[in-house]
Structure 1
Amino acid sequence: MSYMKMIISLCPFEPNENIPLVVAVAAAAVVVVLVVVAVVVVVVVVVIVVVVKVVVKLAVIVVMVVIEVIVIVMIEVVVTVVVIVVVVVVY
């Protein structure tokens, strides 16, 4: 099956005396272009969704790490203050 026949088979209407072959092929070409555009749009949307999910996961991990670091630093500060207070009180 040649490309021409395949494109004509995609045409929304059959070519006849009233509808020249050129118009039929043009209509079929438009259908093909629309299908290709639709597929590209779907692929782009899927890629964007996947990227957003990955970015959100990474952001959550980064936020958790930052919170852990802040908590550890606060604990160290509290321990240091307690040690200083104990040393000052004891002496």
Structure 2
Amino acid sequence: MLAKEVAFSQAERFLAEKSKEWGEGALRLDKENSFSDGDTLIALYDTIAYLDHGDEKQRLGGNMPIEVDMRTGTCRLLSFEEVLEYMNKGLIQ
């Protein structure tokens, strides 16, 4: 089982690669609002402008959180249905 900080490092690398594909630059994990669910870390992220300065105009919309398997370190984006399940549980706003 990976330590939480190692899982966050995996998510950071995954986000860096994905943000290149998306053409997005200044993104960062939102560790404060990320959470564990069993053997997975659900890592939320947003723009640095929003996270550091609260700039609502820079806030992402529709971004799917990153799931990190804490046994293997494998990362993937959650599906819309999975996000809805977490929203219904009150874990994602």
TM-score for the superposition, normalised by structure 2: 0.22
Pick 1 or 2: higher relative contact order, CA cutoff 8 A, min separation 6. 2
| Structure (1 or 2) with the larger CA radius of gyration | 1
Structure with a larger share of its residues in helix:
1
TM-score for the superposition, normalised by structure 1: 0.23
Structure with a larger share of its residues in strand:
2
